[in-house]
Structure 1
């Protein structure tokens, strides 16, 4: 069965890179650019995993992870958090919010794919 991944990313280049890369590796991918649409999109698509940008307009990826973990229908979905703004303590805050894993951008392609495989397979 094909694994489904939702990408939450507002940067067009990163969104295209992540989407193309995952599709080329056999995943069914849905993408959301606007954080305000994420919760409804997750419930419609019901992915096996989410790749979540942390710095989003309107609502942060941290808030979205919290909302996912508070929602009984979504809390089982593992989240791979990615962000370009990695400061001291950010990794801890992201993991404590409920993310399964964390990567700092720019992300090398192989490292990204390894993190996806590790996160989606638990």
Structure 2
């Protein structure tokens, strides 16, 4: 059975490009553009891993991440945060994510991070 990834980003291009990379690697991927639809998708889709953008319009992905890590039903799901912020800005973040990586990443780095988190 393929591992399931729930991916939320308000940028359709990022959803398409990163989603395609993950699907081509054999993962089942559900893409969501709206924070309002996200919580219902977690319960319906039951992902093995979640990828969230940090800046989601008027919503902060870090807040969503931290809430997921405090919720019993979702606290053990690995979360990767994506961001266009600089490495310096990323290092100052307080977030319970399992990994934070820049959006300028190459697909090999994304796949390596996803693979590492899904092994556990």
**TM-score > 0.5, shorter chain as reference:** yes
The residue aligned with 2:10 is: 10
The residue aligned with 2:113 is: 115
Q: How many residues align?
A: 120
Residue 67 of structure 1: how far off its partner (Å): 1.4
Which consecutive residues of structure 2, in runs of 5 or more, have no partner in the other structure?
Answer: none
Could you give the per-residue CA deviations for residues 36-91 of structure 1, whole angstroms, max 9, x where no partner exists?
22222111111000111101113211011011112111111100111002353523
Which aligned segments of 4 or more residues in structure 1 are displaced greater than 3 angstroms? none
The residue aligned with 1:75 is: 75
Which consecutive residues of structure 1, in runs of 5 or more, have no partner in the other structure?
Answer: none
CA distance in structure 2 between the aligned counterparts of 1:67 and 1:101, rounded to whole angstroms: 16
Length-normalised TM-score, structure 2? 0.91
Root mean square deviation, CA, Å: 1.5
Length-normalised TM-score, structure 1? 0.90
Residue 115 of structure 1: how far off its partner (Å): 1.0
Residue 92 of structure 1: how far off its partner (Å): 4.8
